[in-house]
Amino acid sequence: MKNLDLRGAGAVFRYTVQQHYKNRSVIIFLLFLFLGSLAVFPIRALVGGKAVTETAIKKVYLRNETGFMIEADDIRKDQVFSGVEIIETKDDDAALAKTISEDKTAAAAVMVIDQEKMRFDIRTNYGADSDVKGGDADALNEVLSSALHQSLLRMQSVTAEQEALLHSKTYSQVSRVSDYLRSAEETGTDTHVFANLFYCYLIIMLNTLAMSYVFQQCMEEKVSKLVESLLVSVSPAALMLGKLLAVTVFIFGGLGLVALGLFLSFRIGSQMTDPTVLTDMVSGLFNVDFTKLHISGATIALFLLCTVLAYAIAASFSAIVGSCCSRTEDTQQASLAVVLFIMIGYLVGAMVPMFENDAAYNIVSLFPLTSIFSAFPNFVCGKISAGVFTVGLLLQAVTVFFLIKTAGRVYRMMIFYRSAFPKPKQVIRMLREEKAAARLAAAAGKEDSHGE
Amino acid sequence: MGFSVRELFKKYGDKVVVDHLSFEMHQPGVYALLGTNGAGKTTSIRMILNMLAKDGGTVEWNGGPLSLKTCNVGYLAEERGLYPKNTLMDQLMFFASLRGLSRSQAKERIRYWAERLEATEYLYPQQTGAKAPKPKKADELSKGNQQKIQFMLALLSDPELLILDEPLSGLDPVNTDVFKSIIHEEIDKGKYLIMSSHQMATIEEFCTDLTILNRSKTVLQGNLAEIKKSYGLINLFVKAEQELRPLIEQAGITILSSVGFSYQCRVTGEEQANALLRTLVTQGIPLIAFELREPSLHEIFVEKVGEAHEES
C-alpha cells in the first residue's frame, strides 16, 4: 500500500455523485421513496389507528335481552358518549329500523345472549342516510361490551382490585438456569428473533443495492471505453475509491432520506393518532418487547457503525467480482457469485437465534460473513458480551481492509480484460502471476539502483 | 532532459507480447511506434503509462521513473470513448479537475481548444427560439466529433509528453487537416510526441525516429532519414507511351508492379538505373517520367515485416 496513489479520488467522487443526482430518473425515484416513507404513519392513522374523540350518535335505542342490567352511567362514563341519550326500548326490529331511519343521529343497539354458543351478541345499527358512520357504531359496541362486563362483575360483587387482578396479563418464560440468572440483562427469544430478522433484512437489502450500484460503477469506464483516457490522470485505486465512496453516498443518502421521511411521517402521524398504535401493532404481531432493545443514542451510533461495516464488506466484495465483468451480460454471473456470498451469511445469521445456543451466538458474531448480520442484534439483545462484539467488529474492519486492497488489485489487473467472465481459479492465478511479476520488477529495480 | 524506454518486457502466461523494447528521445519531436496488428504497440504504451504492470524494463522521464507525479502526459488512446449520457462540458471539466486545473483555467482552455478544433457548436450551443440551449451529450455527436472531444481531453493539461495512438483514424479530410495542424503546433512548442499509426504517410510527415515492431520484437529502429538513406535510391518509377517491360527485364531490373505503361521497379543502385536510362535514350523511346528515389516508409515497413515473417 505504500505506493498507493489516491490523488484524484476526490474529483472522481464529486463527478460520480454529481452525475448520479443529475439523472432525472434518480430524482424521481428518490422523491417517490421520500413521499412513500412520509405517508406511512398518516396512512396508518387514517386506515385504522385513528382514536375516536367524538361521535355523531346523539341517541341510543337500547334493547337489552341479556337479563343483565346495563347502567346508562357505564356508557356515559366514556368521554365520547358522555352526552348521549340512552333510551331503553322493547321495540321489535322493524320498529327500531323505522326509528333510526327517521333520526339521523340515532343508533339502535340490540344485546342478546346466545345460550348455544355461550356468548353475548351485541348488534348496533344506524340508518342508511344517517350522520352516524361505521366507526361511531364500532365505538358504541365497544362501550356497550364494557358496560355489560361491568354489569356482570357488579352482579358477582367484584371489587375494583379484584377486577384488576382478573384482567392482569400472564407472562410465561422457559429457560435454562444460567439464562434465568442473567435474565435481567437479556431479551426474550421472540424479541431477539424479531430484532435479528429485521436487521438481517435491512442488511441484505443494503448489500443487494450496493452490489448493483458497484457493478454499474466498475463497468462504466470499460463499457464507455474511457479507461485509458482516465488512467493517464488517476490511478485505478483512486478511481475505485472515488466510485465506492460515491456509491456509499447514493445508498446512505437514500437510507437517510427514508429515515427522514419516516421521522417526519411519525411527527405528522402523531398529530392524527396515538403514536403507540404502530409500536403496539408490531409488538403484538411479533410478541416483541421494545423496552428490552435498549434503544438509545449509543445503540443508534453502534447501529450506524455496524451498517457501514456490513455495507463496506459487501461493496468491496462486489467490487472484486464487478471488476471481472467486461460486458453487461457478465453481471448475471457476477450477481450470482455475490448473492451466494451474501445469502450464506444471511441464512446462518437469521437462523441462529432460533437454536438458542451461546456458542452459536459467539461464532456467528465473530466470523465476518455472518457477523455483519448477527453481531449487532446479538449484542443489543444481550446474547453476546461486549468483548465478543468488539472482536467481531475488528475482524470485520480487517476484512474490509483486505477486500478493498484486493478489489484495487483486481480492478487494476482486469481493467483491460475483455474476455468472458473469468472463473475464480483464473483470477487467483492471474493475481499470483501479477504478484510474482511485481516482485521480479522490484528486484530488478533494486539491482539497477545498486548498480548505479 | 528526455524520455527513454529500456528493456520493456511483458508476457501473458507463456506468450511474450513485448520483447525487450528499448528506445530513447533526447530532444522534442515525434517518435513513431509502428507495427502490425497485435505487434505489441498498445501494450507497450500502456506499460509506458503505468496502466499495465511491466514484467521487466524501465521507463524514464528526465532521468527519473515516469509516473503521474513526474510527468504531465496527454494520451489519445486507440480504444477511445466518452460517458455517453453525460454532457460534454461536464466531462471536460471533470478531466481538467483530475489534472489539477482550476475551474477558470479549465474553462479558458476548453474555450481555446473548442475554437481550435471547431467544436464550439457542441460545447456552447446557441439559443434557438424560446427554449434555453440544451447542453450536448456525447451520444448526440458523430464519431469524428467525439474524437475531437477526446483529443481535447488529451490536450487540456498542456502536456509535456503527448502519446497519440492512431490519432487520425476515422477522420474526414477536413478534420484530418485540423488534427495535423495541431500536431505540428505541439511539435513547434517543443513537446515530446509518441505516435502510433497504420497510416505511414502521416508518420512520415511528422516523425524523426521510429521503431517497427513485429510479433512483439523490434525489427527496425532508428532515424527515419538515415534508415531511408541506408536503403539508397532503389525505387525506380518509369512511365512511357509504349511497352517497356522487355527492356527493363533485359537490364536485370525487377518490376514490382505495372499499370499500362507505368512501371514501379526495384534497382540495385544508381548504376543499374542509369544503364536503363541510356538504353531508352539510345533507342529513342520518349519518356513521360523517370524517377529514382528512396523507398517509402510503407515499403520499408512491408519489407521488414515480410522478412520477419519469413525468418519465423
Q: What percent of chain B has pLDDT over 90?
A: 67
B3-228: CATH topology: Rossmann fold (3.40.50)
Using a CB-CB cut-off of 8 Å, the residues of chain B touching A438 are 53
Write the residue in A224, A434, A444 that is nearest to B81 by C-beta. Answer: A224
Distance from CA of A227 to the nearest CA of B (A): 8
Please tell me the distance from the alpha carbon of residue A385 to that of residue A361, in angstroms, as a whole number: 10
Domain ranges of chain B: 3-228, 233-293
- All structural domains of chain A, each given as residue ranges with its CATH number in brackets, are 11-43+186-421 (no CATH), 59-166 (3.40.190)
Confidence of residue A380 (pLDDT cuts 50, 70, 90): confident
Higher pLDDT, B299 or B182: B182
Using a CB-CB cut-off of 8 Å, the residues of chain A touching B98 are 8, 11-12, 230, 233-234
Chosen CATH of B233-293 out of 3.30.70.1150, 3.90.850.10, 1.10.3720.10, 3.10.129.10: 3.30.70.1150
Write the residue in B13, B56, B153 that is nearest to A444 by C-beta. Answer: B56
Is there a contact between A232 and B53 if contact means CB atoms under 8 Å apart?
no
Confidence of residue A139 (pLDDT cuts 50, 70, 90): confident
Do B73 and B49 form a contact (C-beta atoms < 8 A)? yes
Do B3 and B25 form a contact (C-beta atoms < 8 A)? yes
| CB contacts < 8 A (A, B) | 86
CB atoms within 10 A of CB A387: 8
Which DSSP category does B128 fall into? B
Write the residue in A5, A8, A220 that is nearest to B98 by C-beta. Answer: A8
Confidence of residue A449 (pLDDT cuts 50, 70, 90): very low
ipTM, interface predicted TM-score of the complex: 0.82
pTM comes to: 0.75
Higher pLDDT, A349 or B95: B95
Write the residue in A225, A231, A445 that is nearest to B81 by C-beta. Answer: A225
pLDDT digits (tens, 9 = 90+) for A239-270: 988 999 999 999 999 989 999 998 898 888 87
Residue-level pLDDT at A452: 35
| Cα-based distances in Å from B156 to A5, B76, B227 | 22, 12, 35
Residue-level pLDDT at A451: 37
CB atoms within 10 A of CB B129: 6
Using a CB-CB cut-off of 8 Å, the residues of chain B touching A448 are 58
pLDDT digits (tens, 9 = 90+) for B120-159: 988 988 766 667 778 889 999 998 999 999 999 999 999 9
Confidence of residue A51 (pLDDT cuts 50, 70, 90): low
Residue-level pLDDT at A1: 42
Using a CB-CB cut-off of 8 Å, the residues of chain B touching A229 are 75-77, 80-81, 95, 150, 153-154
For chain B, give the mean pLDDT.
Answer: 91
Using a CB-CB cut-off of 8 Å, the residues of chain B touching A415 are 51
Is there a contact between A230 and B83 if contact means CB atoms under 8 Å apart?
no
| pLDDT-wise least confident of A54-58, B72-76, B186-190, B284-288 | A54-58
pLDDT digits (tens, 9 = 90+) for A278-318: 666 566 556 666 666 667 788 889 999 999 999 999 999 99
Compute the average pLDDT of residues B199-228. 91
- Comparing CA positions, the residue from A380, A409, A383 lying closest to residue A319 is A409
Residue B70 has pLDDT above 60, yes or no: yes
CA A327 to chain CA centroid, Å, is 34
Compute the average pLDDT of residues A102-119. 89
